[in-house]
């Protein structure tokens, strides 16, 4: 089988339970899947900030009214979360968190799983996943989050929400415009897709799969090559 390059984003929502307790069971489950992977040439995992990043951001924003500084605290928390995943992956992971694409380019030479957090203010870790995929020339980004795909409405608040199995880039853009509100581009508030992510997606024609990290079975089947996609698949055009 041809070895693949893959970028996986693990949303911060999967790492913590109520009151910001670390969700050890979920983290160990995810790390075991990653440790046992065989048929991939390069695996880069991007870790989100989660509710704990949002707590820090809320505090810093209130005190300083500085969005950039708030983003920087979010980036730092995502890097601590990344270091936690590295510890859990033991010798399968590159031991430190690359803080730039340049540092990543060196880490890739190790052949180990690379785990990263944020890069620079003004974007989400989804943008990091796409920037990294563009850099290593990966065709695919997988995003694991707390819902099983993209819906027309918030599925947690609205029981009638309808899930999309497929979306093309234009449909995704329209959804983002419809959903956007005044604080979409504030620290801690970037949606699963922010505008930076959209731009990278368009110019590099990356396929994105978004699905559940809570019910992990569909992702496992996909990761092991037993199914072609899961959750919502986003491509430039439908094939």
> How far is C-alpha 39 from the chain's CA centre?
21
Question: What distance in Å separates the CA atoms of residue 216 and residue 41, rounded to the nearest whole number?
Answer: 22
Nearer to ligand UTP, 4 or 23 (CB): 23
Compute the least distance from the CB of residue 15 to ligand UTP, in Å: 8
Among 78, 197, 232, 235, indicate the residue that binds ligand UTP (CB under 6 A).
78
Residue 231 near ligand UTP by CB under 6 A: no
- The tokens 């944020």 sit on which residue? 118
Residue 195 near ligand UTP by CB under 6 A: no
Compute the least distance from the CB of residue 219 to ligand UTP, in Å: 15
Question: What distance in Å separates the CA atoms of residue 98 and residue 101, rounded to the nearest whole number?
Answer: 7
Which span (132-140, 184-192, 200-208, 231-239) binds ligand UTP, by CB under 6 A? 184-192
End-to-end CA distance of the chain: 23
Question: What distance in Å separates the CA atoms of residue 43 and residue 195, rounded to the nearest whole number?
Answer: 25
Write each residue from 25 to 64 as x if it is in contact with ligand UTP (CB under 6 A), else as -, in one continuous string.
-----------------------xxx--x---x-------
Give Cβ neighbours of residue 104 (< 8 Å, ≥ 6 apart): 44, 98, 114, 116, 132, 135, 136
- The tokens 């928390």 sit on which residue? 77
Contact indicator for 33, 150 with CB cutoff of 8 Å: no
**Crossing angle of helices 24-35 and 67-89, rounded to 10°:** 60
Nearer to ligand UTP, 33 or 80 (CB): 80
Residue 12 near ligand UTP by CB under 6 A: yes
Give the number of other Cβ atoms within 10 Å of residue 145's Cβ: 22
Write each residue from 139 to 178 as x if it is in contact with ligand UTP (CB under 6 A), else as -, in one continuous string.
------x---------------------------------
Nearer to ligand UTP, 12 or 98 (CB): 12
Compute the least distance from the CB of residue 93 to ligand UTP, in Å: 19
Give Cβ neighbours of residue 229 (< 8 Å, ≥ 6 apart): 209, 222
Q: Which residues bind ligand UTP (CB under 6 A)?
A: 11-13, 48-50, 53, 57, 71, 74-75, 78, 118-121, 123-126, 128, 145, 187-188, 190, 192
């Amino acid at each position: 089988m041809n070895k693949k390059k893959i970028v996986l984003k693990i949303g911060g929502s999967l790492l913590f339970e109520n009151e910001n307790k670390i969700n050890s069971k979920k983290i160990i489950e995810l790390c075991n899947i990653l440790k046992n992977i065989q048929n991939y040439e390069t695996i880069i995992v991007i870790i989100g900030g989660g509710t704990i990043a949002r707590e820090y951001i809320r505090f810093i924003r209130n005190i300083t009214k500085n969005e950039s500084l708030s983003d920087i605290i979010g980036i730092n928390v995502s890097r601590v979360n990344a270091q936690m995943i590295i510890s859990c992956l033991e010798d399968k992971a590159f031991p430190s968190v690359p803080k730039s694409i340049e540092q990543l380019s060196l880490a890739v030479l190790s052949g180990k799983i690379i785990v990263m957090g944020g890069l620079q203010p003004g974007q989400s870790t989804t943008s990091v996943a796409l920037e990294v995929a563009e850099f290593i020339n990966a065709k695919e980004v997988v995003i694991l989050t707390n819902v099983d795909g993209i819906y027309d409405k918030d599925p947690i608040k609205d029981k009638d929400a309808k899930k999309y199995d497929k979306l093309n880039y234009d449909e995704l853009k329209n959804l983002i415009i419809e959903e956007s509100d005044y604080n979409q581009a504030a620290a801690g508030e970037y949606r699963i897709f922010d505008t930076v992510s959209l731009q990278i997606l368009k110019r590099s024609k990356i396929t994105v799969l978004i699905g559940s990290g809570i019910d992990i079975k569909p992702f496992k089947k996909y990761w092991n090559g037993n199914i072609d996609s899961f959750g919502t698949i986003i491509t430039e055009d439908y094939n």
